[in-house]
């Protein structure tokens, strides 16, 4: 399958059409952005690492019965996946308080939450991705009805449980992450986009070392080394 037309260029990926109307190709870029695009950089090889990490995690989740857009990894930087109509809700799952949750609600950084917190953000860069409650989602017609919101929450929690288990045996703690969902050509809601340390916070379970994009946000350096370590641990047979 070959790239045909550039459909969209985002901060982390280029999305290409193919000769099959139901299939797109994601090209993973080496660009890094944070704080809604205010901080920018480029790390050679980052795109390939995110593609490989996403591929491994999509494969794992598919084996566990989670429907997603993933079809195949084509080469270092390219993933073949289903085309979807993006649901403009960023579904965020948090197991440990940090980042904006700690800042906004004054919850101590690093506090283990009593249950997984699922949050919805409006996927709209111009508005700065504001928080949404269920009524906002319905008023904005981001989904058809309440049952779809319940389904997004259910899937997010299920994915969280599966990924927590997967990471725990690899000495990685899943702190929080962002998911995107879309509708495929049969109108099924499926998991889309990427599953990478650009969108996940992961801490080494022993040292507490940050293994994700916070290294870039906080100027800690060593981002690629950390992503390589995440990939190596993900590929370990357990
Ligand atoms: N299967 C899919 N079908 C159609 N669009 C998709 C699919 N998977 C992901 N996308 C969309 O493609 C784009 C990927 O680009 P990229 O990740 O670079 O976006 P972005 O600029 O980082 O935006 P954001 O910060 O909101 O992720 C996103 O808008 C994402 O919603
Ligand atoms: Mg993105």
Contact yes or no for 215/222 (Cβ under 8 A): yes
Q: Does residue 69's CB lie within 6 angstroms of at least one atom of ligand 1?
A: yes
From the CA of 27, the nearest ligand is 1
Q: Does residue 213's CB lie within 6 angstroms of at least one atom of ligand 1?
A: no
**Reduced to 3 states, what is the DSSP secondary structure of residue 123?**
coil
pLDDT higher than threshold 90 for residue 86 = yes
Q: Does residue 82's CB lie within 6 angstroms of at least one atom of ligand 1?
A: yes
The residue contributing the CA closest to ligand 1 atom 30 is 193
- How far is Cα 7 from Cα 9, in angstroms, rounded to an integer? 7
The CATH fold assigned to 1-238 is D-amino Acid Aminotransferase; Chain A, domain 1 (3.30.470)
Q: What pLDDT band is residue 8 in, cutting at 50, 70 and 90? A: very high
How does pLDDT run across 143-160, given as a tens digit for each residue? 999 999 999 999 999 999
The answer to whether the Cα torsion of 25, 183, 11, 30 is positive or negative is negative
For 59-74, letters b (16+ CB in 10 Å) and e give ebbeeeebebbbbebb
Out of 31-45, 51-65, 160-174, 191-205, least confident range: 31-45
Q: How far is the CA of 168 from the centre of ligand 2 (A)?
A: 25
Q: What is the pLDDT of residue 100?
A: 95
Residue extents of the structural domains in the chain: 1-238
Name the token pair of 158: 């299920």
Nearest partner of 191 among 87, 118, 114, judged by Cα: 87
Q: Mean of the per-residue pLDDT values for the chain? A: 97
C-alpha distances in Å from residue 189, one per residue of 62, 101, 120, 149: 14, 27, 16, 11
Give the CA radius of gyration of the chain: 17
**Region 178-185: what's the mean pLDDT?**
98
Name the token pair of 1: 């399958």
The backbone torsions φ and ψ at residue 180, rounded to the nearest 5 degrees and listed phi first, read -125, 145
Q: What percent of the chain has pLDDT over 70?
A: 100
The backbone torsions φ and ψ at residue 210, rounded to the nearest 5 degrees and listed phi first, read -80, 130
The residue contributing the CA closest to ligand 1 atom 25 is 11
- Ligand 1 mutation pick, 7, 12, 70, max ligand atoms within 8 A of CB: 12
Q: Does residue 29's CB lie within 6 angstroms of at least one atom of ligand 1?
A: no
**Reduced to 3 states, what is the DSSP secondary structure of residue 228?**
helix
From the CA of 58, the nearest ligand is 1
Contact yes or no for 166/159 (Cβ under 8 A): no
CA geometry: angle 57, 34, 148, nearest 5 deg: 50
pLDDT higher than threshold 90 for residue 36 = no
Q: pTM score, two decimals?
A: 0.97
The residue contributing the CA closest to ligand 1 atom 23 is 10
Q: How far is the CA of 143 from the centre of ligand 2 (A)?
A: 20
The residue contributing the CA closest to ligand 1 atom 10 is 193
The residue contributing the CA closest to ligand 1 atom 21 is 10
- Ligand 1 mutation pick, 7, 8, 32, max ligand atoms within 8 A of CB: 8
**Reduced to 3 states, what is the DSSP secondary structure of residue 125?**
helix
Within the chain, where are the H helices? 46-63, 99-105, 134-139, 146-168, 214-217, 223-235
């Amino acid at each position: 399958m070959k790239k045909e037309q550039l459909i969209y260029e985002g901060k982390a990926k280029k999305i290409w059409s193919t000769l099959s109307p139901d299939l797109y190709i994601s090209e993973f870029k080496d660009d890094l952005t944070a704080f809604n695009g205010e901080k920018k950089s480029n790390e050679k090889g980052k795109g390939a690492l995110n593609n490989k990490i996403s591929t491994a995690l999509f494969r794992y989740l598919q084996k566990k019965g989670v429907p997603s857009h993933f079809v195949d990894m084509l080469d270092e930087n390219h993933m073949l996946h289903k085309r979807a109509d993006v649901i403009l809700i960023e579904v965020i799952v948090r197991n440990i308080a940090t980042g904006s949750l700690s800042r906004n609600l004054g919850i101590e950084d690093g506090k283990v939450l009593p249950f997984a917190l699922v949050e919805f953000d409006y996927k709209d860069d111009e508005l700065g991705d504001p928080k949404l409650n269920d009524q906002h989602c319905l008023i904005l017609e981001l989904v058809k009805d309440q049952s779809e919101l319940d389904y997004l929450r259910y899937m997010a929690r299920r994915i969280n449980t599966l990924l927590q288990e997967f990471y725990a045996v690899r000495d990685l703690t899943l702190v929080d992450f962002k998911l995107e969902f879309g509708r495929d050509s049969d109108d099924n809601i499926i998991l889309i986009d990427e599953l990478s340390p650009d969108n996940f916070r992961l801490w080494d379970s022993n040292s507490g070392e940050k293994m994700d994009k916070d290294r870039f946000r906080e100027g800690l350096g060593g981002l690629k080394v950390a992503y390589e370590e995440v990939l190596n641990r993900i590929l370990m047979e357990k």
